[in-house]
Amino acid sequence: MAGCGMSWLKILGAVIVGALLLTVGILLGHFAIPKAGNGQGAPSQGTPSWVQTVGRDLNESLLQSFMDQVESGKIRENLKTLASQPHMATTKGDEELVKLLLSRWQDPQIGLDSTSEDVYGAFLSFPDPQRPNSVAVVENSNQIFSTRRSEKNVTADQAHADVVQPYAAYAPPGNPRGRLVYANQGKRSDYQELVNMGINLNGTIAITRYGGADRAAKAVNGAEFGVAGVVVYTDPADINDGRASEEETYPNSWYLPPSGVERGSYNGYFGDLLTPYYPAKEFTYRIKESEIQGIPPIPSQPIGFEDAQTLICNLSGPVAPPSWQGSLGCSYPVGPGFRTGGLFPNTSDVQVNVYNQRVIKNSSNVMGFIRGSEEPDRYVLYGNHRDSWVHGAIDPSSGTAVMLEITRVLGKMLKEGKWRPRRSIIFGSWGAEEFGLIGSTEYTEEFYSKLRERSVAYINVDISVFANATLRAQGTPPAQSVIFAAAKQVQTPASSSMSVYDNWRNHFNRISPSYGVIPNLGSLGAGSDYASFIHYLGITSMDIAYTYDRNKTSARIYPAYHTAFDTFDYADRFIDPGFTSHQAVARTVGNVLLRLGDSPVLPPNVSDQEKLDELYSAAAQGDFLANLTANNLSLDPLKAAIGQFKSVAADFNQRITKLKEEESPSPLQIRMVNDQIMLLERAFLNPQAFPNKYYYSHVIWASKSSDQATFPGLADAYTSALVTGDWDQVQKHLTIVVQAVENAASTLEAVA
């Protein structure tokens, strides 16, 4: 009886299992198998959502809707709010803007998916509010002249209690005193020219003009020649088209008033100075201040050109070379010391009084996130710094005003359920940029691995409008195609019948071997927050703005740059009345952002690498080639590598074309080519190439000191070899370039 019972149990169990399997099969068939469509091939509601959306193309009507919703009036309102008070990094004004951005991006009607505030302990430099910096003329123990300690109150803005006195950030404190010399732009060659004139620079004070060499280099170079202190001013020849009187300057025009002083960070590197390669957190190892490189070793102080005129025009000594002359209304002598019969006794000295303090203070990045629908692990990044030296209407609030308008429109579309990007979009309001790109650099350090693995592109809009004549874009070559596509869809403010692209091409153009006459896409240096993204992470990057007509002004930059005159009134009256150029930038940049975020195949064109041919050609001719040949060095491997890259890139683009022609392209194939596009720029990185340059690892775009127009490492090694005879370093950098180009080609090869 026991065996019979067991048999019946087995039979019953089998029946039950069979019934369960049948039920599961019916359920799977009902819910998992695609049903017939609606007669037009549309998938049913039972189909997984990614199947319905993964193949969707860029929505041109949505793109147009976005641009139509961008309002110049909203941007103007944003700028008025942003520039209502000074907001230097970590000050009260800066902290209030942090709250403003968080509030906007958390708004239930127009906000983003999520936000964060990332805080870093940044090493900063401020003037002592109790002991103002100055430049004085002294005779024995008597002070007989002193420069202005603040700009003239032309409007109420300059009288704001939070306007920081002019100073050179990171310049050390001290009170050096000596005979004054005029050293032009403070380049090493300028100081050498003074020595060639027979002038002993030991213990002197050098007065230099902005331009030619970066701020810190003027003092670093001077110290090498024995200079004890440096004074820096903005010459009206460089910023004002020679105009120097109060009647010709702001508030009567856009030109810098005589009392205007350009503040700035006197720092040759970017990122937090105490924590290179590490995010500046509480737990982070910090180097000693004595180990910091690239900051002035001697006291330095900026002044206005009205005070510079008083000093320079009373100098003694020979007349400076013609290329050193400016627009102060006199023939510039070089010194040393003051002339007999001038404003000051010829025995008087100049004393630079600096009381700067270096401190670690918390600085915030404000981050906003929109989650991608199909590829949330692929990031399109958009950034703009928030901090300014004073009111900062143009630098950087014009960029922040544009970013806030873009996020308002996108946030509204998002909240209304009309749009969600294919890829995730990350917005960054960077802190402490003016002190050396600190916020953005710390961000790339903290999230180094994630950003390298997942970032599609970085868009930077720092100063969005320098002036209202034309677009100006800089970027890595593959970014050219997406910027061009966007610019062709936006009307220029000057004419409804002309696109931003055509206007840009009319102002700045080049002849391309592939495309003919096209707008000129400038190269990226390290002047704004794109620096760590391109040089350190190798992410396709771009910087976009509107600027002035070079045929109408020779200004080095917009005249009120980094002064107390960079105010809303200045922007509203002289930079962009009506804010139509701000609107054009917002539409163009937003168009680029949507193309990068929504296009199934990423829009950067890997074949747009004409720069490789240009850099190669510079080395393959004249004395450069002759000297290589004389030292048994050949460019043939480099020529072959570039040829291989161009061939592989062409094949890659053919594969993309075929993929786009397919009715239902494989999502995995799309993902594969997108990863190759995304990783191309990384292939040009070599962390060992420039061991003495923080963060620089991109063999095409790294900084260089040589004037040779070829690859930066090769150019510097060649220039050095002409002096030292060390041609091994030239061969080393030839190897580095060849390897990088070969790596780039292999990145684009068809995956086996």
Last residue of a domain, one of 354, 369, 387: 354
Quickly list DSSP for 21-63. HHHHHHHHHHHTSPPP-SSSS---TTS-HHHHHTTPPP-HHHH
The rounded distance, in Å, linking the Cα atoms of 425 and 407 is 11
Identity at 71, one-letter amino acid code: E
Quickly list DSSP for 278-302. S---TT-----GGG--SS-SS-EEE
Residue 50 scores a pLDDT above 80? no
The number of folded domains in the chain is 3
Can you give the pLDDT at residue 751? 81
CB atoms closer than 10 angstroms to residue 664: 8
Query: Both 342 and 235 in a single domain?
Result: yes
Residue 32 scores a pLDDT above 90? no
Can you give the pLDDT at residue 57? 81
Can you give the pLDDT at residue 245? 96
Query: Both 385 and 302 in a single domain?
Result: no
pLDDT digits (tens, 9 = 90+) for 157-174: 999 999 999 999 999 999
Query: Both 136 and 120 in a single domain?
Result: no
pLDDT digits (tens, 9 = 90+) for 341-366: 999 999 999 999 999 999 999 999 99
Burial of 73 (0-12, 13-18, 19+ CB in 10 A): exposed
Determine the average pLDDT of the residues in 208-217. 96
Higher pLDDT, 14 or 752: 752
Residue percentage of the chain with pLDDT more than 90: 91
Burial 125-161 (b: 16+ CB within 10 A, else e): bbbeeeeebbbbbbeeeeeebebbebbbebeebbebe
Q: Which of 44-48, 289-293, 718-722 has the lowest mean pLDDT?
A: 44-48
Contact 127, 167 (CB under 8 A): yes
> Which residues have a Cβ under 8 Å from the Cβ of 346 and sit 6 or more positions away?
316, 337, 338, 339, 340
Query: Both 346 and 364 in a single domain?
Result: no
Is 207 within the bounds of a domain? yes
Can you give the pLDDT at residue 481? 97
Determine the average pLDDT of the residues in 147-151. 96
Contact 262, 562 (CB under 8 A): yes
Residue percentage of the chain with pLDDT more than 70: 92
Is 590 within the bounds of a domain? yes
Residue 22 scores a pLDDT above 70? no
CATH number at residue 719: 1.20.930.40
Element counts in the chain: helices (H) and strands (E): 23, 21
pLDDT digits (tens, 9 = 90+) for 269-312: 999 999 999 999 999 999 999 999 999 999 999 999 999 999 99
Structure tokens at 514: 């592939």
The structure tokens 């320079």 sit at: 312
Is 493 within the bounds of a domain? no
Query: Both 150 and 283 in a single domain?
Result: yes
Contact 458, 524 (CB under 8 A): no
pLDDT digits (tens, 9 = 90+) for 67-92: 999 999 999 999 999 999 999 999 99
Can you give the pLDDT at residue 14? 47
The rounded distance, in Å, linking the Cα atoms of 402 and 445 is 26
Q: In the structure, what pLDDT confidence band is assigned to residue 587 with cuts at 50, 70 and 90? A: very high
Query: Both 325 and 260 in a single domain?
Result: yes
Can you give the pLDDT at residue 588? 98
Q: In the structure, what pLDDT confidence band is assigned to residue 23 with cuts at 50, 70 and 90? A: very low
Query: Both 147 and 295 in a single domain?
Result: yes
Query: Both 240 and 389 in a single domain?
Result: no
Is 100 within the bounds of a domain? yes
Determine the average pLDDT of the residues in 358-381. 98
Can you give the pLDDT at residue 56? 63
Is 13 within the bounds of a domain? no
The rounded distance, in Å, linking the Cα atoms of 258 and 235 is 10
Identity at 167, one-letter amino acid code: Y
CATH number at residue 444: 3.40.630.10
H-type helices in 134-210, by residue range? 188-196
Residue 433 designated active-site: yes
The rounded distance, in Å, linking the Cα atoms of 435 and 388 is 10
Is 505 within the bounds of a domain? no
* Strands in 92-228 per DSSP E: 114-126, 134-139, 142-146, 168-169, 177-178, 180-182, 205-209
Query: Both 350 and 231 in a single domain?
Result: yes
Confirm whether pTM is higher than 0.75. Answer: yes
Is 603 within the bounds of a domain? no
Q: In the structure, what pLDDT confidence band is assigned to residue 4 with cuts at 50, 70 and 90? A: very low
The structure tokens 């290329």 sit at: 323
Last residue of a domain, one of 354, 370, 392: 354
User: What residues make up the domain containing 657?
Assistant: 609-748
Q: Which of 262, 375, 433, 445 is catalytic?
A: 433
pLDDT digits (tens, 9 = 90+) for 686-711: 999 999 899 999 999 999 999 999 99
Query: Both 416 and 338 in a single domain?
Result: no
Is 486 within the bounds of a domain? no
Q: Distances from the Cα of 60 to the Cαs of 34, 66, 486, 489, 658, in angstroms?
A: 29, 10, 11, 10, 22
Query: Both 709 and 739 in a single domain?
Result: yes
CB atoms closer than 10 angstroms to residue 414: 20
Burial 436-449 (b: 16+ CB within 10 A, else e): bbbbbbbbbbbbbe
Report which of 262, 265, 295 is spatially closest to residue 89, judged by C-alpha positions.
Answer: 265
Residue 16 scores a pLDDT above 70? no
Last residue of a domain, one of 354, 385, 415: 354
CATH number at residue 298: 3.50.30.30
Query: Both 189 and 314 in a single domain?
Result: yes
Residue 47 scores a pLDDT above 70? no
pLDDT digits (tens, 9 = 90+) for 482-499: 999 999 999 999 898 999
Higher pLDDT, 37 or 391: 391
The rounded distance, in Å, linking the Cα atoms of 432 and 438 is 5
